[in-house]
Structure 1
């Protein structure tokens, strides 16, 4: 079944529950005072800027093989994603947060394996982000 769209072409976010948690995102929408959705738009577009900057920092940390920074950046973006209900991005960032550590929470001794896992997961996170960013841009009336 194809996802539903409103007459104006905006997607029905409930049809995308695999990438965005509708109940969490609805809580953000409830804070809007008007039909223009200025408040939630500001939060979402602020997240876009934050995510893109964080992904750039992650790429640099990956190049520098800095597992500690990758973990911190994964943790940071996990929290931001969770606040908006962006489930796939949140889950990928949580994996990045933990890949550089062993089961006791100390830094993993095999950096090569951890970095390879992070590199793959970072690619997945960016793909998931691109998917949800396009969806939300359409939701807010942008042509993408």
Structure 2
């Protein structure tokens, strides 16, 4: 089974005739989401499960809107860990989320530069 692309190719294809709009969407994502990732980190460090769940859920929706399926999946796992009150698993999912977000940012910055 092939690993999923950073950004869903079908999403990109569906936005092919809206490239300028997609660049604006990506610009908003890369300007706003690092703050949310930091807030997720802070909630995790502070053991604020309710806030962590809310932030993971919010980022999951943003990632889905951008076609960032791997980020969305990390957020889902993080959200599920909070529901199970498994902060150890949540920490592991957060570390993966950071990696996936970095890859999504790189993809989006490169896309915007084209």
When normalised by structure 1's length, the TM-score is 0.70
The yes-or-no answer on 1:121 pairing with 2:93 is yes
Greater share of helix:
2
Counterparts of residues 8-27 of structure 1 (less than 5 Å): 17-27=4-14
Q: CA deviation at 1:136?
A: 2.0
Change beyond 3 A, Cα 1:68–1:49 = same
The yes-or-no answer on 1:55 pairing with 2:37 is yes
Aligned residue pairs: how many? 112
> Which consecutive aligned stretches of 4+ in structure 1 deviate over 4 angstroms post-superposition?
none
User: Structure 1, unaligned stretches of length 5 or more?
Assistant: 1-15, 103-107, 109-113
CA RMSD of aligned residues (A): 1.8
Rg larger in structure: 1
Counterparts of residues 1-144 of structure 1 (less than 5 Å): 17-32=4-19, 37=20, 39-102=21-84, 108=85, 114-141=86-113
Task: Specify which structure has the bigger relative contact order, considering alpha-carbon pairs within 8 angstroms and separated by 6 or more residues.
Answer: 2
Q: CA deviation at 1:29?
A: 4.0
Distance 2:111 2:82 in 1: 36
When normalised by structure 2's length, the TM-score is 0.87
Distance 1:123 1:91 in 2: 13
* Residue pair 1:48, 1:133 contacting (<8 A) in 2 also: yes
